[in-house]
């Protein structure tokens, strides 16, 4: 125990020194975070990625970035004419129905009319039949659909319908494909006179690392390794291996948050017991006979923490579902709420922001221990039930 405590203290001292150097060197300065755009899918992420992919973009690199992206995502360049390509953001493909229409985040079209569709997700969840609707948009000409999320998550059943993974669509991530592609773009620019383009992409790379929990850099990692392997290496290695056996994330979520901080207010009858598995979560019961408030993990291992208003009975008549969704939309439109989605079984849902829902980051885990996440959940549950009660009066 003493060895473990000593190692933790040593690592904290290293991190504290590193953070001070980063702060003094201005490496925390990120224009996208300062402007509070870090999770804006349309105005930042789709726009920025789309601009780099556009051969006619202001970057002046022609189709180089596009070709590098295609190579990273295993799209055959020989099958696509990259010299005269149109890149469109938020492309309207018709009135939204159950099986067609909507707005495609990034649509890439070549001179032969072939399409690459990129569906971009940061914190917003899937819409009902969303991928299926895009697939039905001129599907004879669709070359590839890419489903882009922070960690490579798969689309929900409600979104993809009958579409098959790695056949009708392909999952890519900011953590891997996008980050690696951006680094290759920067490498391409290293000997070119671009005083603004390269630093801007590097700023965006730092933002992607932050969003995907990769902000610890190589220098800090190496300093920690060297500390572990110092003259007291035997004790340090034993302490490190002991720490690896501890699932701190599981303990904080299941024992501290759910069993202690939220104890007594969760509806145990509706609670999914295996929180670490996909769709594991917990629910809160109010006065409504048709709606509950729920918090679930949309992926395994406590990833994609989503909350919202769910139908208590999945077999409720579709007409009733649509009426309830319409009433809820009116209420949420009044407060100009962003990144809302509806699915077959959820009348309203959205992802929690990173500081509360990204459990690969230290801050989200700290916010469990200090009670901020529990307070945020209680506040949102109260707010959502007030909205539910207001539509029950209609």
Q: What tens digit of pLDDT does each residue of 252-305 get?
A: 999 999 999 998 888 865 565 588 888 889 999 888 888 999 999 888 888 888
343 compared with 58, residue with greater pLDDT: 58
Q: What is the pLDDT of residue 68?
A: 94
Residues 348 and 342: their CA atoms lie apart, in Å, by 5
Low-confidence winner among 75-84, 195-204, 266-275 (lowest mean pLDDT): 266-275
As a whole number, mean pLDDT of residues 377-383 equals: 93
Examine the pLDDT at 218 and tell me if it is beyond 80.
no
Q: What is the pLDDT of residue 64?
A: 93
Distances (CA, A) of 65 to 108, 184, 209, 378: 13, 9, 20, 45
Examine the pLDDT at 5 and tell me if it is beyond 90.
no
pLDDT in tens, 89-117: 999 999 888 888 999 999 999 888 889 99
Tokens 């819409």 — which residue? 127
Angle subtended at Cα 159 by Cα 155 and Cα 163, rounded to the nearest 5 degrees: 80
Q: What is the pLDDT of residue 391?
A: 79
Name every residue whose Cβ is closer than 8 Å to that of residue 156 and which is 6 or more positions away in sequence: 125, 126, 298, 343
- Determine what percent of the chain falls in helix, strand and coil, rounding each to the nearest 5: 45, 15, 40
Distances (CA, A) of 22 to 10, 25, 325, 366: 18, 5, 47, 21
Q: What is the pLDDT of residue 202?
A: 92
Residues 121 and 165: their CA atoms lie apart, in Å, by 17
Q: What is the pLDDT of residue 392?
A: 65
**Alpha-carbon torsion, ordered 382, 386, 388, 390, to 10 deg:** 180
Is 82 in contact with 55 (CB distance < 8 Å)?
Answer: yes
Q: What is the DSSP letter of 98?
A: S
Residues 114 and 20: their CA atoms lie apart, in Å, by 50
Q: For residue 148, which of 41, 67, 299 has the smallest C-alpha distance?
A: 41
Which of 24-28, 188-192, 199-203 tops mean pLDDT?
199-203
Q: What is the pLDDT of residue 393?
A: 56
Examine the pLDDT at 1 and tell me if it is beyond 90.
no
Q: What is the pLDDT of residue 286?
A: 86
Q: What is the pLDDT of residue 320?
A: 81
Is 257 in contact with 356 (CB distance < 8 Å)?
Answer: no
Angle subtended at Cα 155 by Cα 289 and Cα 216, rounded to the nearest 5 degrees: 110
Decide: residue 145, CB within 10 A, 0-12 exposed, 13-18 middle, 19+ buried.
buried
As a whole number, mean pLDDT of residues 317-325 equals: 83
Q: What is the pLDDT of residue 273?
A: 57
Q: What is the pLDDT of residue 8?
A: 82
Examine the pLDDT at 208 and tell me if it is beyond 90.
yes
Which residue ranges make up each domain of the chain? 2-28+216-243, 37-211, 248-392
Statement: the pTM of the whole predicted model exceeds 0.75: no
Examine the pLDDT at 194 and tell me if it is beyond 90.
no
């Amino acid at each position: 125990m003493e060895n473990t405590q000593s190692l933790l203290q040593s690592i904290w001292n290293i991190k504290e020194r590193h953070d001070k150097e980063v702060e003094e060197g201005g490496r925390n300065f990120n224009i996208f975070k300062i402007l509070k755009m870090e999770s804006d899918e349309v105005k930042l992420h789709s726009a920025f990625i789309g601009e780099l992919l556009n051969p006619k973009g202001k970057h002046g690199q022609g189709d180089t970035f596009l070709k590098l992206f295609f190579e990273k995502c295993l799209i055959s360049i020989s099958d696509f004419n990259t010299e005269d390509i149109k890149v469109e953001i938020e492309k309207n493909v018709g009135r939204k129905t159950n099986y067609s229409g909507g707005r495609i985040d990034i649509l890439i079209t070549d001179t032969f009319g072939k399409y690459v569709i990129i569906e971009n997700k940061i914190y917003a969840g899937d819409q009902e039949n969303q991928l299926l609707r895009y697939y039905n948009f001129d599907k004879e000409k669709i070359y590839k659909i890419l489903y882009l999320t922070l960690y490579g998550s798969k689309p929900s059943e409600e979104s993809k319908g009958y579409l098959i993974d790695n056949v009708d669509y392909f999952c890519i991530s900011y953590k891997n494909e996008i980050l690696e592609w951006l680094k290759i773009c920067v490498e391409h620019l290293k000997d070119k006179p671009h005083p603004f383009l390269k630093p801007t992409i590097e700023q965006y790379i730092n933002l992607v690392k932050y969003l995907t929990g990769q902000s610890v850099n190589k220098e800090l990692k190496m300093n920690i390794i060297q500390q572990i392997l110092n003259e007291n290496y035997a004790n340090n290695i034993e302490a490190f291996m002991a720490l690896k056996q501890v699932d701190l994330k599981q303990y904080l979520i299941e024992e501290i948050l759910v069993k202690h901080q939220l104890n007594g207010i969760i509806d145990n009858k509706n609670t999914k017991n295996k929180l670490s598995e996909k769709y594991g979560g917990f629910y809160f019961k109010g006065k409504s006979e048709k709606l509950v408030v729920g918090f679930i993990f949309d992926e395994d291992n406590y990833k994609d923490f989503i909350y919202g208003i769910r139908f208590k009975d999945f077999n409720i008549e579709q007409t009733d579902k649509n009426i309830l969704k319409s009433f809820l939309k009116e209420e949420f439109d009044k407060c100009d709420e962003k990144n809302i989605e509806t699915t077959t079984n959820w009348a309203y849902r959205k992802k929690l922001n990173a500081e509360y829902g990204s459990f690969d980051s230290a801050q989200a885990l700290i916010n469990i221990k200090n009670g901020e996440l529990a307070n945020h959940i209680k506040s949102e549950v109260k707010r959502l039930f007030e909205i539910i009660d207001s539509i029950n009066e209609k």
